[in-house]
Amino acid sequence: MSSQFLKFPKNLFEIKQKAVRRLLFEELKPRLPFASDAINTGFPIEEGPLFGFDSITESGATGGLVTLPDGNNVYRITYPVERDETEVLLSKGIATRSVLVSFLSRYPSGIPRPPSDFAGLKWSRLIISDGIDSLAGLQNEMHVYWEGDNVRYEGQVYIYEADVVVNFDLDQPITEWFEMKYFVSLNTPGRNDGVLIVYFNGQQVAERRDVHFTDNPNALVSTFWVGGNDSFNGHALAFPVVRDTDDVRLIVDADDPLQTADQVMFGVIYRDSLGAVVDRVCEGDKFSIDIYVTDTRAQPKGIFSAGVDVVFGEEAEIAGDLVFGPELPNARHATIGSGQIDELSAVAGIQGAGVNTLLASIPMVASKAGVFQVGTNPADVLPQHEVSLVGTVTSVPASQITFGSGTLMIDQLSRFHNRANSTDVSFDSFTSPVDALRIINALNSLGSGLDLRTTTLTVAQLGYVDTNNDGVLSPLDALLVINELNRQAAA
Kindly write down the DSSP assignment for every residue of 422-443, as one continuous string.
Answer: TT-TT-SSS--HHHHHHHHHHH
Q: pLDDT under 50 in the chain at which residues?
A: 1-49
pLDDT of 43: 29
The per-residue pLDDT for 36 is 32
List Cα–Cα distances, 266 to 185, 287, 310, 367, 375, in angstroms.
29, 19, 10, 25, 10
The reported pLDDT for the residue numbered 291 is: 98
Signed CA dihedral, 316, 320, 322, 323: sign only:
negative
Q: What is d(CA 177, CA 201) in angstroms, rounded to the nearest whole number?
A: 9
N-to-C CA span, the chain: 48
Phi and psi dihedrals of 145, rounded to 5? -120, 125
pLDDT in tens, 7-29: 222 232 232 233 233 333 333 22
HSE value, Cβ hemisphere, 13 Å, CA-based, for 433: 1
Q: Are the CB atoms for 435 and 466 separated by under 8 Å?
A: no
Alpha-carbon span 291 to 426, nearest angstrom: 40
Cα 65 to Cα 244: distance, rounded to the nearest angstrom? 9
**Phi (first) and psi of residue 336, to 5 degrees:** -95, 130
Is there a contact between 348 and 327 (Cβ–Cβ < 8 Å)? Answer: yes
Handedness of CA 231, 232, 234, 239 (dihedral sign): negative
Tell me what pLDDT residue 38 has: 28
Q: How far apart are alpha carbons 129 and 135 in whole angstroms?
A: 5
Q: Is 189 left (phi over 0), alpha (psi -120 to 50) or beta?
A: beta
Rounded alpha-carbon distances, angstroms, from residue 341 to 114, 241, 410 = 61, 52, 21
- For residue 46, which of 60, 65, 63, 21 has the smallest C-alpha distance? 65
Say if 4-12+259-411 and 31-252 have the same CATH topology: no
pTM, 2 dp: 0.53
DSSP state of 445: H
Provide CATH code, domain 4-12+259-411: 2.60.40.680
Q: Give the architecture-level CATH label for domain 31-252.
A: Sandwich (2.60)
Residue boundaries of the structural domains of the chain: 4-12+259-411, 31-252, 433-490
Determine the distance from the C-alpha atom of residue 216 to the mean position of all C-alpha atoms in its chain, rounded to a whole number. 35
Give the pLDDT confidence of 392-412 residue by residue, as tens digits: 767 888 888 999 999 999 987
* 113 contacts 146 by C-beta, under 8 angstroms: yes
Closest listed residue to residue 222, CA positions, set 158, 164, 140, 135: 135
